[in-house]
Amino acid sequence: MANNIVATWGFKRKLPEPFEDYTDHAIFDDIASKYCTQPRKKSTLHAATLRAVLAYLELENPVGSTPPEKLGAVGTQSNNFVVAEYPSKTGDLQVVVYNQLNGKFYGGCYTPPPDVESTPEKYEFKDSKQSGAALLFALMPVFLADEECNEKYQELKAHRDNGYPDLDAAAETAAVLCDNIYRRTRYASGLPTGGVKIDLPANGVLSLIKPLNIQKGVYAPTEVLHGDFQVLRPGSGFKKAQAAISRDDFVGKFILTASRRLSPEEEVSVPTLAEWYIIPPEIKRICEHAKLTTDTTQPMRNFLLRGPAGTGKTEGAKAIASALHLPYRCITCSANTEVFDLLLFTPMQNLILWTMRTVTG
């Protein structure tokens, strides 16, 4: 596993317009994102990050006469995936699928106009191949969920819309934006909030998007955020999209015992749903069963969520705790785990959710 999506060799590449003159002096002292914990603050412009940000700006709010097929597209699919089509400066269309739950990527490179029945070329994230701009482009909706990142993005957008009247100020804004993205991906596991999980293959070669999966709609976006998809066409999947479950009708709406008052420590442990999380009907159904059986002789308090890694078991458990307004605790079982460990760890008035990963092969 590698998490250096903002690669060291990427800092040596020429910066895109209008920042190309900063290529040889891209470091800015005394400014950094809020995720910088070092006493000495500094941030650096990064070519691939800037290309991704500028491409997303143009996609979101085109200022020129670029045809839609050359702007790319970004969308989401259920809770698991962000999908994107990035028009590379090399002329090919780079298609990226990002799994938000496990940080893994799938990818492929097409020659326009794309032939979805043919196998695409591999996406190789390395110094001599692709720069990673397409990966960062796909991650933009995830990055922008962070308040600071979104603030700096809006500032840079204002600079661009006004024709960059103060390029130095725009460069400083861009540097903090690059620093925000760098630290949230590079040090994600050590951040209490804001981290973006990245799991790249050590050799940089992404798992290839297969033509059959394209035709079956495996990665078809259920929501198009911006642009027109050419490969991952919306609505090409076999499953009909279900009506979204409102957060107002879910979070805290299935409290099991109205008289129970959580301690301050317990209140802090009640999960908050991420903005990108779409509530699955199966998760709501568990909450309904737990609530409806509360006053019966056999209240339902044990539920098993089973499936492969990255299918949403952990996020589903957190969502259930949020709906029931209960503290969320996680314990990893081993061969030496005793039932008494679980009884001491989880009070009987709480719900017990078992998540089990299925392993194939």
The answer to whether position 63 is within a domain reads yes
The answer to whether position 214 is within a domain reads yes
What CA–CA distance (Å, rounded) separates 80 from 103?
Answer: 10
Q: Which of 179, 197, 227 is the last residue of a domain?
A: 227
What CA–CA distance (Å, rounded) separates 130 from 207?
Answer: 14
Residues in the chain: 361
What CA–CA distance (Å, rounded) separates 288 from 298?
Answer: 15
Q: What does the block give as tokens for 360?
A: 């194939």
Q: How many domains does the chain have?
A: 2
Q: Report the pLDDT value the prediction gives residue 241, as an integer from 0 to 100.
A: 43
Q: Are residues 182 and 300 in the same domain?
A: no
Q: Are residues 85 and 210 in the same domain?
A: yes
The answer to whether position 241 is within a domain reads no
> Which residues 6+ apart lie within 8 Å of 228 measured at CB?
68, 69, 71, 73
Q: Are residues 223 and 267 in the same domain?
A: no
Q: Are residues 76 and 30 in the same domain?
A: yes
Q: Which of 227, 262, 293 is the last residue of a domain?
A: 227
The answer to whether position 238 is within a domain reads no
The answer to whether position 27 is within a domain reads yes
Q: Which of 227, 260, 282 is the last residue of a domain?
A: 227
Q: Are residues 44 and 191 in the same domain?
A: yes
Segment holding 283, helix H or strand E: helix 281-292
Q: Which SS3 state, helix, strand or coil, does residue 153 take?
A: helix
Instruction: State phi, psi for 147 to the nearest 5 degrees.
Output: -60, -45
Q: Are residues 76 and 221 in the same domain?
A: yes
The answer to whether position 232 is within a domain reads no
Q: Are residues 219 and 252 in the same domain?
A: no
Q: Are residues 104 and 150 in the same domain?
A: yes
Q: Report the pLDDT value the prediction gives residue 2, as an integer from 0 to 100.
A: 65
Residue 122's alpha-carbon distances to 143, 208, 218, in angstroms, are 25, 6, 19
Q: What does the block give as tokens for 183?
A: 């630290």
Query: Please, are residues 344 and 350 in contact by the beta-carbon 8 Å criterion?
Result: no
What CA–CA distance (Å, rounded) separates 206 from 214?
Answer: 16
Flag whether the pTM goes above 0.85.
Answer: no
Q: Are residues 212 and 307 in the same domain?
A: no
Q: Are residues 95 and 180 in the same domain?
A: yes
Q: Are residues 72 and 220 in the same domain?
A: yes
Q: Are residues 35 and 153 in the same domain?
A: yes
**Residue 306 structural domain:** 247-357
In order along the chain (361 residues), what is the average pLDDT of each group of 10 residues? 78 93 94 93 95 95 84 88 93 94 94 90 92 95 94 96 95 96 93 92 93 85 92 63 78 91 91 87 92 88 82 89 90 74 54 57 40
The answer to whether position 279 is within a domain reads yes
Residue with tokens 């861009």: 174
Residue with tokens 């990050």: 49
The answer to whether position 237 is within a domain reads no
